[in-house]
Amino acid sequence: VKRRARAASGVGARASDCISRGHSTSARIGRFFARPATGHANTHTQTTRMFLFKGVVGLLALGGAAALRFTPRMVASERPVDASGESFSPLSGPKPALITNNNGGVWVPQRARPRRNRKSEAVRSMVRENLVTPRNLIYPLFIHEEDFETEIESMPGCLRHSLPHMLEEVKDAWQYGVRTFVLFPKVPDELKTNRGEESYNPNGIVPRAVSMIKEAFPEAIVCTDVALDPYSDQGHDGIVEDGRILNDETIEQLCKQSVCQARAGSDVVAPSDMMDGRVGAIRDALDSEGFTNVSIMAYTAKYASAFYGPFRDALDSHPGFGDKKTYQQDPANGREALIEAALDASEGADFLMVKPGMPYLDVIRRLRDNTNLPIAAYHVSGEYAMLMAAVERGWMDEKAGIMESLTCFKRAGADIILTYTAKKAAKWMCEDGLF
């Protein structure tokens, strides 16, 4: 600042010097032009001198004016300083930025102040637009035929449960208000086939698990996944023929699977396969067998996403070849979800699901704005793994990060959230008195 002030002072001094020198020069030029002319052309010469004199003086005047224009009116060192030692106060000057109120305090004359509705937790909770409760959550459980539990490395805190331990986990979550569970089986390789016949074995792991939960917790809502990939030796959601996924032939198997699960006591079947027309076919199959009260939660907008990797680790269900882009949706498409939603609703779906969740909040909102059916969002394994990785490294507070994530699903329009954090989130809600 001092250097700038000295520089500005120098500019002003040079400009003043230029002006003063200009005045003295014009005086000398004036005396020269005023000398009497001699010779026969003295009158003409004198006239010419006076004309030149006026031109030179005019140029000097322009130069002096230009110098004045570039002279700082007030340098930093000359600005008034207030009592606090600051060189600027928004409360002073001919046009102050701020004014004072009747009590002498600083006042911004703003009538509408949104912060008034955030001034305390009591006020914030009173006007809160979205609230997640344990009843909004569905708890996914991985199960296997072993008599022990296995940690899933890519999903810290998640296990493959034995059936007895599955019941313990349901009981533990139940005490915190979680009432809905969805089952995903890891099927032994020797039971896997291209047509996935094990998926409708009445003595298979899923029918037995459903029966166990309904017997121990009759009020529980048990959801079951309908798809062939856990049972397929190809790792795909449908029957494979010459490298293609067969649509209608796969639906036949899905109908058998759905009826088998309903007979075991499933409350909600959830077709995740993304075959065209499968919701209507499953609805008709259930109704024809008397299961008109069994609900269908359609995976309406299931995208061909990179966020499913840890889930496929848990079930050992990675595609045996290629990818799933010929039946799952393109992540670049949003409007396409509305087509799927209209079809699923017309075919008898009771819930519409978007999967993954957080990267597709815009799709959740699109569905919310275009249907009155309940919307479910799946907080998938890749999202969970990213959160937990950040927590493990100390980059994020676990509770704050998880609760914010769940709230954002509700804000986007989801009524139901499938999340691996269901039990711990419900526990936090109870501890905070929210449930």
User: Which residue numbers are catalytic?
Assistant: 302, 355
Whole-number Å distance between alpha carbons of 176 and 190: 38
Please name the residue that has the structure tokens 């004309």: 51
Tokens standing for 287?
């109704």
Reported in sequence order, the residue ranges of 5-153 that DSSP labels E, i.e. its strands, are 99-100, 106-107, 137-143, 150-151
Whole-number Å distance between alpha carbons of 388 and 91: 50
Give, as one character, the DSSP assignment of residue 224.
E
- Among residues 229, 435, 379, 395, the alpha carbon closest in space to that of 312 is found at 229
Using alpha carbons only, what angle is made at residue 140 by residues 135 and 143, rounded to the nearest 5 degrees? 140
Tokens standing for 358?
């957080």
Q: Which residues of 311-345 are buried (b: 16+ CB within 10 A; e: fewer)?
A: bbbbbebeeeeeebeebbbebeeeeebbebbebbb
Reported in sequence order, the residue ranges of 230-332 that DSSP labels E, i.e. its strands, are 239-241, 244-246, 268-271, 295-302
Computed from CA positions of residues 129, 131, 136, 138, in that sequence, does the dihedral angle turn out positive or negative? Answer: positive
Whole-number Å distance between alpha carbons of 344 and 338: 10
HSE value, Cβ hemisphere, 13 Å, CA-based, for 25? 14
Q: Which residues contact 240 (CB under 8 A, 6 or more apart)?
A: 194, 232, 234, 246
Whole-number Å distance between alpha carbons of 137 and 144: 23
Please name the residue that has the structure tokens 């010469």: 45
Whole-number Å distance between alpha carbons of 193 and 146: 20
φ/ψ of 325, rounded to 5, equals -75, -15
- Preceding amide of 109 cis, omega within 30: no
Please name the residue that has the structure tokens 């979205």: 130
> Quick check: helix, strand or coil at residue 261?
helix
